[in-house]
Structure formats: C-alpha cells, structure tokens
Amino acid sequence: MDKNFSLEDLASIAAEIISSVKNKTLLFYGEMGVGKTTFIKEICQQLGILDNISSPTFSLVNEYQTSKKEKVFHFDFYRIEEEEEALDIGIEEYFDSDAWCLVEWPENIENLLPLDAAQIHLSILDDEQRNIQLK
C-alpha cells in the first residue's frame, strides 16, 4: 500500500490495514507531528476500543480492551534511551501475546522487533495531506 490521504480518509485506511496485515504487531515510523498517534487512535476505534486513547509517552505502554475483550497494547518508545528499558517492561512477552501491538518510534528498539511485523511509514505532504506506505 502506498497512498496519499487526508483526515477524512483515515477510517477507511485504518480498516484496510487491519484487514490486510498478517501480524498484529504494527510499527509506526514517521517524524514528530506526522500523525502516528492520530492514526493509532483510529485503528483502536476500528478495533472496537471505547476507552480514551492517548499516547503512552511516559509510561511506555497503554493497555486497552476491545468490545470483544481482546487486548491492544500501544507503545511509545520516543523517550527510551536503552533497549533494556523495553526488555524491563517485558516487550518480548507483549510481542508473543497474539494481541495487537501498536508501536510508535520502533527504531528506538530496533533489535527487539519481530521480523514479521508490519511497517507503516507516514510522511507529511502538506498541512492537509499525508502519505502512508505499508511494508
């Protein structure tokens, strides 16, 4: 997938990604302000999460539950300094859990990422448009 989109397209693109990925670990790449958290919020809504969804910048991980009682984990590794910090929270167990794992700033734990995780690259085209590439 390689598409340009605006906020109005977010729901359909999130649904398309959910239905097309083989692994429930999604890695979100992109510069600060590109909309990673906004996109993750839409994916969470598509999965049926009714909780308030926010970025776990300081806690590293937020746990949500879908309306079908499935767990979804949202990680933000922006502030992480050493990969050991991710190991300390049990990142490997999260990735092995068969739950959705939505990871912001995965490049900061590069050596710990599952090889079969879906990579979502977001980039800014202008104030209204973004590009998304699913790899």
Token pair of 36, please?
Answer: 């990673």
> What is the per-residue pLDDT across 45-79, written as a single tens digit (0 to 9) for each?
999 998 888 888 778 999 999 999 999 999 999 99
**pLDDT confidence tier of residue 135, bands split at 50, 70 and 90:** very high
The H-assigned helical ranges of the chain are 10-20, 36-47, 83-88, 91-95
pLDDT of residue 59: 83
In the block, which residue shows the tokens 């049926």?
A: 48
What is the residue extent of each domain of the chain? Answer: 2-134
pLDDT of residue 50: 84
Query: What average pLDDT does the segment 17-46 reach?
Result: 95
Q: Which residues on adjacent β-strands are paired with residue 26?
A: 102, 118
The topology under which CATH files domain 2-134 is Rossmann fold (3.40.50)
In the block, which residue shows the tokens 């398309």?
A: 16
CA pair distance 100, 118, nearest whole angstrom: 11
Q: Nearest 5°: phi and psi at 97?
A: -80, -10
> What is the per-residue pLDDT across 102-124, written as a single tens digit (0 to 9) for each?
999 999 999 999 999 999 999 99
pTM listed for this prediction: 0.95
Kindly state the helix (H) or strand (E) to which residue 42 belongs, with its residue range: helix 36-47
In the block, which residue shows the tokens 């308030």?
A: 52
